[in-house]
Chain A
C-alpha cells in the first residue's frame, strides 16, 4: 500500500519547491490588486511560510531533526537554478536543520491572535525569510519540471524506500517554454517503493476570485492558467484526502493537490512524523 513509509532520520523524505521568478510575477497579487503587493511577494511569503512550518514541524527541544531534505529551484529570466541565498547558496538539496539554522534574516511581523477573553490583539512574531521577491524574464516551467526530475532521480536512487518526495510548484501558470504536461507527467511517474512522486501546485494569480483549495474538478477554476496547473497536479493519496476532508473541504477520488490564491501550509500539517494531538493548533 503506497504512502505508508515511515519518515525518520534514517529514512528521510524530500521536499522540492519550484518557484516562478518570471517578469509576470510583478503583477498585483489576488485580492490585494489595489495594494502594492505583487505576485512575487505573495510567492515569497508563501514559500517562506511553508519552509517555516516545515522547520517547526521537525523541531524538537534539542534542535531540528532531519526528517526532510529540501530544495528550492527558481525559474525565470535568470534561468533555472537553486534559489537559496546566503550560506545555502547553490545547493540543490539540504537537510531541514540547515535551513532552519540559516535563514537570510529573521523579521519581526505583526500577527492577530486570540487574547483568550473574546478579543483579538496584535502580537509580534518572528518571521524567518529565506527568499525575497524576484520577477524577471520568461517562465521556463517545463525546464524547471525537467530539473526537478533530474534532482529526484538522484534522490530516489539514494533513498529507494523513502516516503515519496513532494514537489510544490508556486507559479502564475503562464509557461513560456512549451506545454508542461509531458515533463510534469514524467516527474509524477518517478517512484520510490512507497509510491509515486507527488506534484502539487500553488497558483498565484492577479484574479480577485476567492481562494480555492483542493478542488476535484477544473470546471470551476477561474482561467486557463489555473486549469492547466490543476491538470498537472497529483491526485491526493488516500490519507491526505482524509485529512483534507476533516478540514471541512469536500473531497472525492479526483481531489488534487492544487490551490488557487491560497497556501499549502495544510500539507505540512498532514505530514506524518509522529503523534500530532488533535487539540494542537
Chain B
C-alpha cells in the first residue's frame, strides 16, 4: 500500500506560529509512505484552555501509537505540573487542556477506521465527489463550544470517541481538517456542491495561504468571515 500525505497549516490571523494550537501527524509538508498500515490524525487545542497545543500534539502522536489516553494524560500532567507558574496560569491548569481529535487508520486490506471527538472532521473523496464528512455532517452543527477530549479524568462523562469505518480504493483521497476549514468545506458543499474543486487546489503551503487569506476576508450575509479566523489545518492523504 502506498500513501502520499500532505500537511498544510496556518495559525489564526494575528497569532504567531508559536501560538498555533492545532497539531497534525504526520507533520511533514509532503511524504510518501509504503506500509501495511497508515495512521494519521489532526487535533485542535481549545483556545480557552492553556497548554492546549501540548495536548493536541500528544493526541495526534498518541493516536499513531497505541491511543492510550491515560498515558497521554499522565504525560501532559507531568510536563505541565513541573513548571513554576503565576497564580492565573496555575488556576487555568487545574481546568485542564481540551482538544478535538480525528484519527484515521488505513489498512492494506482495503479497509479504514476512524475515531473522532469534537468538530475536527474526516472526509473521503472518490472520483472528485465528497462521499461523506465525519463526525460533523451539517454546517449548522458547528458552534464555539463543542464537547472535547480533556486532560482531566472522565468525570464529565464518557469521552468515548465516535467511530466510523469503510473501504478505500486506489485513487481515493482522505481529508482530515480542523473545525474552521471543516465548516467552510461542509457549508460550501451544502450551498454550491463544489467544495472539492476548491480543496483539490490546495497542494502546497503557498496555495493554502492564498486560499485561507481570501476566505477569511470574504464575509457572509451576517458580516462574519466565511472561513472563521482560527488555526487551520488540512491533512490530505492520497491512496496511490
Contact = CB atoms under 8 A, between A and B. Distances in A.
A275 B144 contact: yes
Interface stretch (A30-38, A39-47, A53-61, A171-179): A53-61
Contacts of A125: 91
A126 B147 CA distance: 28
Nearest to B44: A275
Interface residues of A, number: 35
Given A4-B224, A64-B88, A126-B87, A272 B144 contact: yes
Interface stretch (A6-14, A162-170, A207-215): A6-14
Interface string A95-106: 000001101001
A281 interface: yes
Interface stretch (B25-33, B107-115, B152-160): B152-160
Given A59-B88, A101-B86, A126-B90, A281 B95 contact: yes
Interface in B208-240: 222-224, 229-230
A267 B90 CA distance: 22
A128 interface: yes
A126 B91 contact: yes
Contact of B157 (A6, A103, A279, A280): A279
Interface string B131-151: 000000000000011111010
A74 B50 CA distance: 33
Given A1-B222, A9-B14, A277 B229 contact: no
A116 interface: yes
Contact of A277 (B14, B88, B90, B145): B145
B147 to A, nearest CB: 5
A135 to B, nearest CB: 28
B230 A274 contact: yes
Interface residues of B, number: 38
Given A6-B229, A274-B46, A279 B147 contact: yes
Contact of A278 (B19, B86, B96, B145): B145
Contacts of B53: 61
Q: Which residue, of A1, A60, A63, has the highest number of chain B Cβ atoms within 10 A? A: A60
A116 B88 CA distance: 23
Contacts of A78: none
A121 interface: no
A116 B90 CA distance: 20
A113 B229 CA distance: 36
Nearest to A125: B91
Contacts of A60: 19, 50
Nearest to B145: A278
Given A278-B145, A280-B98, A273 B47 contact: yes
Interface in A1-34: 1, 4, 6, 8-10
Nearest to A246: B145
A112 interface: no
Contacts of A64: 88
B35 interface: no
Contacts of B89: 59, 61, 63
Interface string B58-95: 00000000000000000000000000001111111001
Contact of B46 (A8, A63, A128, A275): A275
A277 B92 contact: no
Interface string A77-113: 0000000000000000000000011010010000000
B219 to A, nearest CB: 10
Given A272-B144, A277-B147, A59 B50 contact: yes
B189 interface: no
B133 to A, nearest CB: 19
Q: Which residue, of B89, B147, B224, B229, has the highest number of chain A Cβ atoms within 10 A? A: B89
Given A116-B153, A280-B48, A281-B156, A274 B95 contact: no
A100 B224 CA distance: 31
Given A277-B147, A278-B147, A57 B48 contact: yes
Contacts of B229: 6, 8
Contacts of B48: 57, 273-277, 280
B105 interface: no
14 contacts: A8-B229, A59-B89, A61-B54, A100-B86, A114-B155, A116-B155, A272-B144, A273-B47, A275-B148, A276-B46, A277-B48, A278-B147, A279-B147, A280-B150
